[in-house]
Structure 1
Amino acid sequence: MHWFTADPHYSHDRIIGFCGRPFPDVAAMNAQLLAECRAKVQPDDDLWILGDFTAGRSTDARRREVRSIFHTLPGRRHLIRGNHDEDWVHDLPWDSVAETADIVVDKRRLFLCHYPMITWPGARHQGLQLFGHVHRNWMGSRNSVNVGVDVWNFRPVTLPEILRRAAGLPVNPLWDQVEPGRAWPTVLCAGCGRILDPALVSGHAVVRKGRIVVAATGETIVTLGTAMRGWLPEGRHVCPECTGGYLSVGEVTLPARFVFDELRNRAVPKGK
């Protein structure tokens, strides 16, 4: 599995004030950042840190502390260089160090850079760009997502999480100027972030008033529990695979007088 994060700023005490991080001191911040990584990233996973592993005045004590933190990070560790990453940070025994990376995860092309970009390799073909650098200033756009710790509760994230967030972000208003005629699809699944064929949208499901319904007819497929309503915003489309998955989770309850039809993979009135 691949995990993505950016801008942890390990052992940088001033970042707490700069970004309003909810920690009493740098020791508490380091502990939380490290705990989140160690709780999620497994030894065979890839951890991509998109810049600014640390920052601030480079004293001998800080270097020793940051080196110690580095050696306790799990997984295969990759650094995409940030503007605060000095040569001694680059020289740590990373599995890879680069200015940018162009990778494929779960058949989705990803372009990794410390900085947000307007266009990038693969952007014309639904490639997604991941970045950091801006901390809380910008979440990103439909195809360019901030993976910094300040907007992800100080934890690394996976591609499905990133895709779900991307699906709810606006298209960059400059996109048509830099890539004219390359319209970014506006119909994405709210569950997994996959691109839905606009010509077939009427056959997809859509979230309406706490229910997943057939977009074309309004027929109820399933009623969502409170927590799931927050996960699937009003008006968003849902692909058939995700719709089937939501029928199996505890937060989902079928409407009264409905049963689940295995063949049709949807709720239907009893007796029909």
Structure 2
Amino acid sequence: MTRTLLSADTHFGHKSMLSPRMPRPRPFETIEAHDEALVAAWNKAVRPDDIVWHLGDFAYKCGLNYAASIKARLHGRIHLIRGNHDFGLGDRLQWAGPVVDVQRVFVQDPGMPERVALWASHYAHVTWPNAWHGDLHVYGHSHGGIPATRTSLDVGVDCWDWAPVTLGEIMARMAEAPATRSSA
């Protein structure tokens, strides 16, 4: 059965992600080690026939050929929701569908009784269409800086051991989160 997974903020080729000046520097010696670790984690989580929604910042500050060579090694049929670093480079890669800014994605996870509607965006939203009717929100961009709630969650690789995640994993983490973000 084909599964749907989600991910964000891989930043393939983006050397600055390793800089100690970053709020959350990634723990890799080189960008090549970073990229290889993310490819390995991706391919361990994703089967060739799976669908993956990448919620932005796929690659940055690298050449088109490099980004395309990384993408060609990744399992799954990948859709891109544009992030702030995808203008230009991400827009020029070949995806499983058109590049969009936001997308309502319906996911039927194996073992779940019904499909779930996700409002997917690169950016975290305070509210979103159908939020009061059961749609959940998934996003990237914050690199783990925005706490999860029972209805909204960061699916970026910084939060998930560098790999895309399934709806079951998302729902389990949301279930453990507070109902709303504190307004401290």
Which residue identity is paired with 1:6? A
2:112 corresponds in structure 1 to: none
Alignment RMSD = 1.6
1:223 corresponds in structure 2 to: none
- Post-superposition offset of 1:43: 1.8
- Aligned to 1:11, the other structure's residue is in SS state coil
Alpha-carbon distance in structure 1 between the residues aligned to 2:147 and 2:162: 14
Q: 1:173 to 1:34 in 2, by over 3 A?
A: closer
Which residue identity is paired with 1:156? P
Alpha-carbon distance in structure 1 between the residues aligned to 2:144 and 2:156: 8
> Percent identity between the aligned chains?
37
TM-score under structure 2 length normalisation: 0.87
Unmatched segments (≥5 aa) in structure 2: 109-114
1:83 corresponds in structure 2 to: 84
Which residue identity is paired with 2:107? V
Alpha-carbon distance in structure 2 between the residues aligned to 1:133 and 1:21: 15
- Do the aligned residues in 1 keep the contact of 2:119 with 2:128 (CA within 8 Å)? yes
2:159 corresponds in structure 1 to: 151
Which residue identity is paired with 2:37? Q
Which protein is bigger by CA-based radius of gyration? Answer: 1
1:68 aligns with 2:73: no
Q: 1:108 to 1:16 in 2, by over 3 A?
A: same
Q: What is the CA deviation profile of residues 93-126 of structure 1, one whole-angstrom value per residue up to 9, with x for unaligned ones?
A: 1012111111211211111000001111221112
1:39 corresponds in structure 2 to: 44
- Aligned to 2:119, the other structure's residue is in SS state strand
Runs (4 or more) in structure 1 with deviation over 3 Å come to: none
Alpha-carbon distance in structure 2 between the residues aligned to 1:36 and 1:139: 23
Alpha-carbon distance in structure 2 between the residues aligned to 1:50 and 1:37: 14
1:133 corresponds in structure 2 to: 141
Q: What is the CA deviation profile of residues 189-244 of structure 1, one whole-angstrom value per residue up to 9, with x for unaligned ones?
A: xxxxxxxxxxxxxxxxxxxxxxxxxxxxxxxxxxxxxxxxxxxxxxxxxxxxxxxx
- Aligned to 1:98, the other structure's residue is in SS state coil
1:105 aligns with 2:113: no
- Aligned to 2:39, the other structure's residue is in SS state helix
RCO comparison, higher one (Cα < 8 Å, 6+): 2
- Do the aligned residues in 2 keep the contact of 1:118 with 1:174 (CA within 8 Å)? no
Q: 1:37 to 1:122 in 2, by over 3 A?
A: same
Q: What is the CA deviation profile of residues 38-91 of structure 1, one whole-angstrom value per residue up to 9, with x for unaligned ones?
A: 1221121101110000123x5xxx322111101111111100000011223212
Query: Alignment length, in residue pairs?
Result: 171
- Do the aligned residues in 2 keep the contact of 1:144 with 1:166 (CA within 8 Å)? yes
Alpha-carbon distance in structure 2 between the residues aligned to 1:168 and 1:117: 20
Alpha-carbon distance in structure 1 between the residues aligned to 2:162 and 2:175: 21
Query: Which structure is higher in strand share?
Result: 1
Alpha-carbon distance in structure 2 between the residues aligned to 1:145 and 1:87: 27
- Do the aligned residues in 1 keep the contact of 2:147 with 2:181 (CA within 8 Å)? no
Which residue identity is paired with 2:33? A
Alpha-carbon distance in structure 2 between the residues aligned to 1:44 and 1:173: 36
2:9 corresponds in structure 1 to: 7
Alpha-carbon distance in structure 2 between the residues aligned to 1:160 and 1:126: 16
2:179 corresponds in structure 1 to: 171
